[in-house]
Amino acid sequence: MDDLRHGEPLAPRTTLGLGGPAEHFLEARESTQLEAALRWAKEAAQAVTVLGGGSNAVVPDAGVLGLVLDVATRGLAFAKEGERVRVTAQAGEDWGAFVDRMVEEELAGLECLAGIPGRVGATPIQNVGAYGQEVAETIDRVRVVDRRTGERRELAPEDCAFAYRDSMFKRDLGRWLVLEVDFLLTPGGAPALRYAELEKNAPPVPTLASVKETVVALRRRKSMVLDPADPNTRSAGSFFTNPILPNDEAARAIEAAVRAGVVEAPEAVPRWPVGEARTKLAAGWLIERAGFAKGTRRGAVGLSTKHALALVHHGGGTTAELLAFAEEIVAGVRARFGVTLEREPRLLGVD
Ligand SMILES: Cc1cc2nc3c(=O)[nH]c(=O)nc-3n(C[C@H](O)[C@H](O)[C@H](O)COP(=O)(O)OP(=O)(O)OC[C@H]3O[C@@H](n4cnc5c(N)ncnc54)[C@H](O)[C@@H]3O)c2cc1C
């Protein structure tokens, strides 16, 4: 393979800016290049790690062995389908630019997902979501290569088993390479206003464009839009997912909060029912109440000053420092509330 590079630094390709190099690296601009790279790796017995925009990825300090495949394929196609429009996006399309374009085209369904970094191909992996919207609501097909067989497959939403920040892709990370994603969007549809904070800040007559702008402004306030001038954005977004627990476990965590004097009454603990049997707790709230205030520092890493869920790299740090701080937080939350937080970003080459 002609374009193969060796010892390529990965830190500049991630939003955290941490970690070592890729043993082998290929930036693939065509889907045929992606498939050729997979064949090369199989023949050369090299592990393959897929990389998009690096905004939900942690790179180990030792780097990543085998081939890191940078999915940089571009292209959009539009097709009218009854009342809706099918938009097919190549996996390497920039997500933020894609959402901007859909809003410009007056296509509803993704407007609350503006300002999220990364590329289209990664959005089904963790069912990207924000401000009351998730990609699973509009994804109609995901075209993939099954890396076990090398075959192309077309997956329907029910095959993807989408859930909160989860999908079958995430549960079986080594198996799938996403090539393109089809979204079914609604021309001239109303913007989604389901999230209290968004509803409160949206203009009186909301449009797709104004709701998108409101989302971006809210995200900016929390340092959740990439901005080189904002040191809080050198992160991987939320480092932990909100725990969704069986009701009895959530009740025990809430009791623990009262016992520890964190709150006076159980009602003061933020929680949301998930179906009848489960309850979602707020990971950021648990972290702060376990004693990790926003802005807490451990050398070169710390918590964002605006968002207790974002672990930030202040420069000159290591992935080991970041993961040690993450472990300290997990242990602190477990000790106080009996809840084990789950890491959201993937540890490349390890997970
Ligand atoms: C400031 C900030 C704010 C964020 N806000 C949000 C938010 O509001 N909501 C949210 O859900 N997320 C958020 N994130 C997380 C992140 O932006 C998303 O998860 C995004 O979809 C990751 O895309 P990426 O291309 O950067 O993926 P990467 O970080 O490159 O990869 C993430 C994982 O997906 C896999 N992957 C990537 N592309 C493919 C592909 N084509 N085929 C198969 N596997 C692939 C990788 O192997 C890796 O395991 C935020 C991150 C940051 C830094």
Which sequence spans correspond to the domains of the chain?
A: 5-71, 76-221, 231-347
Name the average pLDDT for the chain.
96
**Distance from Cα 321 to the centre of ligand 1, integer Å:** 22
Taking CA atoms only, the protein residue closest to ligand 1 atom 28 is 54
Phi, then psi, of 235 in degrees rounded to 5: -140, -175
- Please tell me the CATH code under which domain 76-221 is placed: 3.30.465.10
Compute the average pLDDT of residues 168-174.
Answer: 90
pLDDT grade, residue 351 (50/70/90)? confident
223, 235, 238, 304: the active-site residue? 238
Assess whether pLDDT exceeds 90 at residue 174. no
Compute the average pLDDT of residues 99-117.
Answer: 98
Per-residue model confidence (pLDDT) at position 26:
97
Assess whether pLDDT exceeds 80 at residue 135. yes
**Distance from Cα 84 to the centre of ligand 1, integer Å:** 27
pLDDT grade, residue 6 (50/70/90)? very high
Tokens representing 349 are 């080459």
- Please tell me the CATH code under which domain 5-71 is placed: 3.30.43.10
**Distance from Cα 274 to the centre of ligand 1, integer Å:** 24
Per-residue model confidence (pLDDT) at position 306:
94
Q: Residues near ligand 1 with C-beta < 6 Å?
A: 15, 50-57, 71, 91, 116-119, 121-123, 125-126, 128-130, 173, 176-178, 224, 226, 233, 235-237, 346
* Fold of the 231-347 domain: 3.90.78
Please tell me the distance from the alpha carbon of residue 274 to that of residue 276, in angstroms, as a whole number.
Answer: 6
Assess whether pLDDT exceeds 80 at residue 113. yes
Say which residue the tokens 């203009």 belong to: 203
For 237-247, write each residue's pLDDT tens digit.
999 999 999 99
pLDDT grade, residue 173 (50/70/90)? confident
Per-residue model confidence (pLDDT) at position 283:
97
Return the HEC string of the chain.
CCCCEEEEECHHHCCCCCCCEEEEEEEECCHHHHHHHHHHHHHCCCCEEEECCCCCEECCCCCEEEEEEEECCCCEEEEEECCEEEEEEECCCEHHHHHHHHHHCCEECCHHHCCCCCEHHHCCCCCCEECCEEHHHCEEEEEEEECCCCEEEEECHHHHCCECCECHHHHCCCCEEEEEEEEEEEECCCCCCCCHHHHHHCCCCCCHHHHHHHHHHHHHHCCCCCCCCCHHHCEEEECECCCEEEHHHHHHHHHHHHHCCCCCCHHHCCEEEECCCEEEECHHHHHHHCCCCCCCEECCEEECCCCCCEEEECCCCCHHHHHHHHHHHHHHHHHHHCCCCCECCEECCCC
The predicted model scores a pTM of: 0.94
pLDDT grade, residue 267 (50/70/90)? very high
Per-residue model confidence (pLDDT) at position 181:
98
Compute the average pLDDT of residues 55-68.
Answer: 97
CB 56 within 8 A of CB 118: yes
Residue 289 known to be catalytic: no
Compute the average pLDDT of residues 23-39.
Answer: 94
Residue 165 known to be catalytic: yes
CB 191 within 8 A of CB 272: no
Choosing from 14, 15, 49, 116 the residue with most ligand 1 atoms within 8 A of its CB, the one to mutate for a pocket test is 116
How many CB atoms are located within 10 Å of the residue 205 CB? 6
Assess whether pLDDT exceeds 80 at residue 2. no
